[in-house]
A and B are shown apart, each in its own frame.
Chain A
Amino acid sequence: MIRIENLVKTYGSVHALDGLSLNVEPGVVYGFLGTNGAGKTTSMRILSGLARADSGRAWILDKEIGQPGSDVRSLIGVLPEEPAFYGWMTPREYLRDFIAPLYDIHGQVAARRADELLEIVGLKDAANRRIGGFSRGMRQRMGLAQALVHRPPVLLLDEPVSALDPAGRKEVLELIETLRGQTTILLSTHILADVERVCDVIGIIAKGRLVVQDRRDDLLARYVTPLFEIESEDGFGHWLEWVKKQAFVTNVTVSNHTARVLVKDVHQAQKPLLESLVRETLSVRRFEMVHPSLEDVFLRLTGKEA
């Protein structure tokens, strides 16, 4: 559905993209994950035709981007990181009278679609207010609405929930989830919890290159290193020094009353850890074997690459 091969883009001495390649299968929600400046927005801009790559190629639905007679823009809906609108227009006017006709949607069909989208993104009550007075969150919702006007098969969403409050974020993520299967979504973000929640496939980008790409569950499984979380009421005392010296332990971090013990082999480590806690008579509130979050995987991978 979306294919990128070896994209390179430089701005002066900065390598925004340094041989980026990735492949997004039809119908998936692809989480494009990276720190600020990793190359996410540049990739989005190239895919949406706003910028040109120095080298490399990209396709959307088998149409090559930037080639004469191969305009992909009617196939995509784009939500930029900071969507901008004409402040003097109302949302209804913007969708019905401006955006819809650009996709050859006119009259009653355009009016119905505009109202339907305003309802979906929660702006129905503000349909006749000037966009100029909208908050950033409302603009982001508006941005999502304009990207969906023509029911595009591919959506490019650049940080779609970064400006939203928790309730708004939940609603938009739910909306994205409803599009799963019918629309291919490339969603760039640096908020890992959102990716973990809605994305089927995750691509991690660092310094303009794809570090890893896999299905979310496979990625977590692949990079999982079992971890124990131990919560104690009175702290850990001498036990902390003991545990750090054990050969089966690779790392120990403590925050508040919780110790996170990263081990080489969970089966080998479980028994001695439990025994040691009993031996030290610590007031253990919780002893849990957890898997690292996507955040752990992300930091590990980007840290290694950085």
Chain B
Amino acid sequence: MFRTLLAKEFREQWRTWKMVVFLAVFLITGIVSPVLAKYTPELLKMVPNLPAGLADFIPTPTVADSVVQYLKNTEQFGILLVILLTMGVMAQEKERGTAAMLLTKPVSRSAVILAKWLAGMTILLAGLLVDGLACFAYTVVLFEPIPFGAFWTLNLLLLVYLGVYLTVALMASTLARSQAIAATGAFGGLIVLIILGSLPRVSDYMPGQLANWGSSLVLKGDVTAWPALGVAAGIIALALVVACLRFEREEI
């Protein structure tokens, strides 16, 4: 039963072009990040009438710039993409009546939620693989090899970090009865996490810290964020439990 639900989710993402768009944006992000890191300084130097001597102050790009650019772009586009991909998945089924059709069949309501979550996380993982591979390849060509293990650990941390937004959006979609309310809830969750992430001391425990940890791993820094990893995992688990419990009790 779970396999059938999961297969339907993948097929839906593929046939409605969502998966293609998702992977394409990640691929472009992966290619563009090292290219921008490499050529932005050179483009700046080519600006006409640049004050004399300023070109000397523009630093020569390094592999670190490529990684920072990659992290920044993946974080920004990734958050937006996972929210857009996920916020309608449950609300749409309820709004259109397909949830009512499905729930008259012998399926567990929690399995419906978990299938959507697993499908979303798998597509996110695929997106990060495409993104990471493109960035890795272009960085090797334009700069020098990135430390392999550290770079993929960074991507795993990004998977958890973006997974938080995906799961919160899924929860919002489950709690809402319409797509408009689901969108409000999902972006509301994003704003709350951003605000909490900007508070001193609290930010050390928020999922945003995972990106800093990942960056530090690649750039040989000393930042770790085990508490933030625990909080991120906790948010994911809590959002899933809330979504499942709510859907189990909801009248469709």
Contact = CB atoms under 8 A, between A and B. Distances in A.
A84 interface: yes
Interface of B: 1, 3-4, 7-8, 11-12, 15-16, 96-98, 100-101, 103-107, 251-252
Interface in A71-99: 71, 73-74, 76, 78, 80, 82-86, 88-89, 97-99
A134 interface: no
A52 interface: yes
A188 interface: no
Contacts, number: 61
Given A98-B4, A98-B8, A49 B104 contact: yes
Contact of A88 (B16, B97, B252): B16
B8 A85 contact: no
Contact of A78 (B7, B98, B104): B104
Given A50-B104, A52-B251, 18 more contacts: A45-B251, A49-B103, A49-B104, A50-B252, A74-B106, A76-B104, A80-B100, A80-B101, A84-B96, A84-B98, A84-B101, A88-B12, A88-B15, A97-B7, A98-B8, A102-B105, A102-B106, A146-B101
Contact of A102 (B1, B11, B12, B98): B1
Contacts of B16: 88
A103 B106 CA distance: 7
Chain A CB within 10 A, most for which of B7, B100, B105, B252: B105
A85 B101 CA distance: 8
B246 to A, nearest CB: 14
A278 interface: no
A81 to B, nearest CB: 10
A191 interface: no
Nearest to B1: A102
A101 interface: yes
A86 B101 CA distance: 10
8 contacts: A49-B103, A49-B104, A51-B252, A73-B105, A80-B101, A84-B96, A88-B15, A143-B101
A103 B4 CA distance: 10
Interface SS, A side: loop
**What are the 5 A-B residue pairs with the smallest beta carbon separation, nearest first?**
A84-B97, A78-B104, A101-B4, A51-B251, A88-B15
A253 B42 CA distance: 95
Nearest to A100: B4
B97 A82 contact: yes
A14 to B, nearest CB: 14
A256 to B, nearest CB: 42
Contacts of A43: none
A49 B106 CA distance: 10
A189 interface: no
Nearest to B96: A84
Given A50-B251, A80-B100, A80-B101, A86 B106 contact: no
A99 B251 contact: no
A50 B251 CA distance: 6
A164 B15 CA distance: 30
Chain A CB within 10 A, most for which of B1, B8, B103, B107: B8
A48 interface: yes
Contacts of B101: 80, 83-85, 143, 146
A97 B3 CA distance: 11
Contacts of B96: 84
A78 B97 CA distance: 13
A4 to B, nearest CB: 17
A85 B92 CA distance: 12
